[in-house]
């Protein structure tokens, strides 16, 4: 077993040339990397499920359900899977929960580390590429079943628009247009968004559409949790715009959830779309 060493401020830190925190960690404290920490079987670890993201003209919205499962057991009913990665980008994660949360932590430090060293933040494409590298570092574990599937969305300050990036387990990076979903319930969520999405959404519209799609995912996917009205557990929703990232308060998400649930009392499958 490897012990984790916390390095002092020695000559090794003066002699490094990298601006990447993950590369630094790999050299001076490799045991602290998430990918070095989880041998064994994927059945041991809880799995986190559906994340959706939608681009609007002035912001990008990302929402995730709150369930983590281990086999057929609900491991946690209020897990958070969507985070502000930095001032202008959001990251959501599906897959092996423990590793994924560690990877988000590493990614946030990675972005902040670069920004502090270089005194300018990375471009959105730069952030997307760094995330690719982190996922690629996890490939050996992905092959054992510990797959981490993130989704990155952010406001591109240079181009003034919302962008969404999806990833595969090998670190392949794909830019998505308009909306995307990842995780076990993503097929159902994406189906819902296909019918609901409009390019001119306001942020509250996008929040409502995200809630609709997550409820549809929870309807058909056992690993995705629907909103829990009794406990007041609602999807975690973040928005990123030119003014920065912001978590949509639970009260606002709760109102959207209640409106959606009320409408579904009349039509349990959600709003109908025109046939043509």
Partner 1 sequence: MTVPFYVAPEQLMKDRADYARSGIARGRSVIALRYLDGICLVAENRSAALFKVSEIYDRIGFAAVGRYNEFENLRIAGIRHADLRGFSYDRRDVTALGLANAYAQLLGTIFSAGGEKPYEVELVVAEVGETPAGDQLYRITYDGSIADETEVAVIGGSADRIATTVAAGSDPAQSLSAAVRLAVAALSTTSPLGVDALEVAVLDRTRLQSRKFRRLADGELGELLAGSAPTPRRRRSRAPERGSDATGSAVRAES
With binding defined as CB under 8 A, does residue 133 bind partner 1?
Answer: no
Q: Work out which of 44, 109, 143, 222 binds partner 1, going by CB under 8 A.
A: 109
The single-letter DSSP state of residue 14 is H
Q: Is residue 9 close enough to count as binding partner 1 by CB under 8 A?
A: yes
Q: Is 49 a catalytic residue?
A: yes
**Part of the chain binding partner 1 (CB under 8 A), chosen from 7-15, 186-194, 213-221, 226-234:** 7-15
**Residue 235 touching partner 1 (CB under 8 A):** no
**Taking the complex as a whole, how short is the minimal distance between the CB of residue 6 and partner 1, in angstroms?**
5
**Candidate segments 12-20, 145-153, 166-174, 206-214, binder of partner 1 by CB under 8 A:** 12-20
Mark the segment that binds partner 1 (CB under 8 A) among 44-52, 181-189, 244-252, 265-273.
244-252
- Residue 59 within binding range of partner 1, rule CB under 8 A: no
**Rounded-to-integer distance, Cα 224 and Cα 229, Å:** 15
Instruction: Please state, in angstroms and as integers, the Cα–Cα distance from residue 151 to each residue in 61, 161, 165, 196, 223, following that order.
Output: 12, 17, 6, 20, 18
Q: What is the per-residue DSSP string for 97-125?
A: HHHHHHHHHHHHHHHHHHHHHHSSPPPHH
Specify the 3-state DSSP secondary structure of 237.
Answer: strand
Among 39, 43, 120, 200, the residue binding partner 1 under the rule CB under 8 A is: 120
Per DSSP, the three-state class of 136 is: helix
Long-range contacts of 170-173 (CB under 8 A, 24+ apart): 170/135, 170/136, 170/139, 170/142, 171/132, 171/133, 171/134, 171/135, 171/136, 171/139, 172/132, 173/128, 173/129, 173/131, 173/132
Q: Which is nearer to partner 1, 21 or 146 (CB)?
A: 21
Binding mask 26-45 for partner 1 (x = CB under 8 A): --xx--x-------------
The residues facing 135 across adjacent strands are: none
Residues known to be catalytic: 49
* Interface positions with partner 1 (CB under 8 A): 4, 6-11, 13-14, 16, 21, 24-25, 28-29, 32, 84, 86-87, 105-106, 108-109, 112-113, 115-117, 119-121, 157-158, 243-247
């Amino acid at each position: 077993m490897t012990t984790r060493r916390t390095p002092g401020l020695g000559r090794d830190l003066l002699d490094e040339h990298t601006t990447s925190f993950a590369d630094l960690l790999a050299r001076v404290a490799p045991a602290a990397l998430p990918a070095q920490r989880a041998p064994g079987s994927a059945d041991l670890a809880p799995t986190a499920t559906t994340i959706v993201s939608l681009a609007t003209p002035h912001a990008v919205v990302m929402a995730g359900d709150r369930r983590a499962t281990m086999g057929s057991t609900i491991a946690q009913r209020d897990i958070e899977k969507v985070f502000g990665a930095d001032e202008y980008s959001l990251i959501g994660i599906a897959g092996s929960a423990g590793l994924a949360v560690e990877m988000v932590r590493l990614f946030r430090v990675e972005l902040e580390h670069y920004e502090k060293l270089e005194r300018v933040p990375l471009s959105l494409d730069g952030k997307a590429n760094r995330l690719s590298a982190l996922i690629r570092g996890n490939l050996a574990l992905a092959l054992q079943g510990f797959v981490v599937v993130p989704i990155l969305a952010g406001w591109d300050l240079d181009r003034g628009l919302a962008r969404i990036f999806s990833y595969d387990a090998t670190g392949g990076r794909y830019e998505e247009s308009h909306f995307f979903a990842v995780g076990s319930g993503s097929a159902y969520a994406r189906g819902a968004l296909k019918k609901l999405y409009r390019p001119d959404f306001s942020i509250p519209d996008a929040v409502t559409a995200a809630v609709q799609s997550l409820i549809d995912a929870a309807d058909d996917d056992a690993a995705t949790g629907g909103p829990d009205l009794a406990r007041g557990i609602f999807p975690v929703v973040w928005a990123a715009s030119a003014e920065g990232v912001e978590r949509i308060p639970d009260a606002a998400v709760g109102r959207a959830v209640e409106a959606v649930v009320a409408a579904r009392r009349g039509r349990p499958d959600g709003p109908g779309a025109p046939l043509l």
